[in-house]
Amino acid sequence: MQVPRTLDEFYREFPDEEACWRAVRQMRWPHGFVCPRCGQRGSHRLRTRRLDQCRACRHQVSPTAGTIFHRTRVPLRTWLLAIFFVARHKKGISALQLQRDTGLGSYQTAWTMLHKLRSALGHRPEFRLTGLVEADETYVGGATTGGKRGRGAPNKTLVAGAVERRENSAGSLRLAVVPIPSREELGGFVRGMIDARQATVLTDGWQAYEHLASSGVKHRPQVQGPPARAAKILPWIHTVFSNLKTWLRGTFHGVSGKHLPRYLQEFSYRFDRRARESELFHFVLRRAVRGAPISYARLTAEAVG
């Protein structure tokens, strides 16, 4: 598959629904069909019904079964177009914009598609942060003026972040919603994201991080002065938080705390692949094909945390 860079290339690569099914099928079974029921290789393609039938046990499988596209009523070509927009727009795309650009009949459908895609963009837990890691937390959303500042603010959602500090740039990023700024929550987040043998964690001098060293984490708290100095002590995580807030406001005009975790996944996913933007379409499509199905009911029922 050629990774489309322009809309013109997209339509040439995916001229019709059949081409999209072929691409998804190829990604699902890159080394040929493997039956999910009996494990045998080889299938007959039932083209008109877009199913593969196992040669051994005759089990019929859709290439989209068990993927993000599971039982979707949206044409695959619209899905691939959505992935194209997500991949090609540096700042992503809102549900309203997607609805307009694809001519989808319903906002809810566009919203659901984007959240299903985001649900497949989580970091892989086996990849842990190493080297120097800046960790901090921030409040996102809610009232931007008039509320209390600092560590405790109404209608805001607490986000913990950790990012690798490399020579002249940042490495990989992890973000998560945490319910309260306690040492259990913030310490647990940091411990869960780093490779403790290969990471040294840099934080400000706040007490929630004090116990990190006693739990086996190499920890270098930095004495903090005024807020301007905090940005110098932990430059990368401060930049990340600032860009995250600009992104949430600019592209989505703010998001609810309830759905924030999936936006954080998209943001971190983009951040970690910012040097490979041209390949993003392929990466996101692969995630979608390998991702687990998630229903609208579950997308809307998920709680913060």
Would you tell me which residues interact with Zn ion (CB under 5 A)? 35, 37-38, 54, 56-57, 59
| Total residues belonging to the chain | 305
The helix/strand/coil state of 17 is helix
Rounded-to-integer distance, Cα 254 and Cα 102, Å: 23
Please say which residue, 38 or 292, places its beta carbon nearer to Zn ion. 38
Q: Which residue's entry shows tokens 């932990």?
A: 234
Please say which residue, 19 or 34, places its beta carbon nearer to Zn ion. 34
- With the CA atoms of 111, 116, 121 and 126 taken in that order, what torsion angle do they form, in degrees rounded to the nearest 10? 150
Q: Which of these, 78, 47, 74, lies nearest to 63 by C-alpha position? A: 47
Q: Kindly state the helix (H) or strand (E) to which residue 21 belongs, with its residue range.
A: helix 17-28
Taking residue 38's Cβ as centre, other Cβ atoms within 10 Å add up to: 12
Please say which residue, 54 or 240, places its beta carbon nearer to Zn ion. 54
Please say which residue, 61 or 294, places its beta carbon nearer to Zn ion. 61
Is the Cβ–Cβ distance between 248 and 100 less than 8 Å?
no
Give, in order, the Cα–Cα distances in Å from 214 to each of 98, 159, 183, 204: 48, 24, 12, 17
Rounded-to-integer distance, Cα 208 and Cα 186, Å: 7
Q: How far is the CB of 28 from Zn ion (least distance, A)?
A: 15
Q: How far is the CB of 34 from Zn ion (least distance, A)?
A: 9
Rounded-to-integer distance, Cα 144 and Cα 156, Å: 9
Please say which residue, 36 or 75, places its beta carbon nearer to Zn ion. 36
Please say which residue, 54 or 159, places its beta carbon nearer to Zn ion. 54
**CA angle at residue 216 from 215 to 220, to 5 degrees?**
95
Please say which residue, 35 or 135, places its beta carbon nearer to Zn ion. 35
Rounded-to-integer distance, Cα 120 and Cα 127, Å: 16
Q: How far is the CB of 31 from Zn ion (least distance, A)?
A: 16
Q: How far is the CB of 29 from Zn ion (least distance, A)?
A: 13
Is the Cβ–Cβ distance between 234 and 202 less than 8 Å?
yes
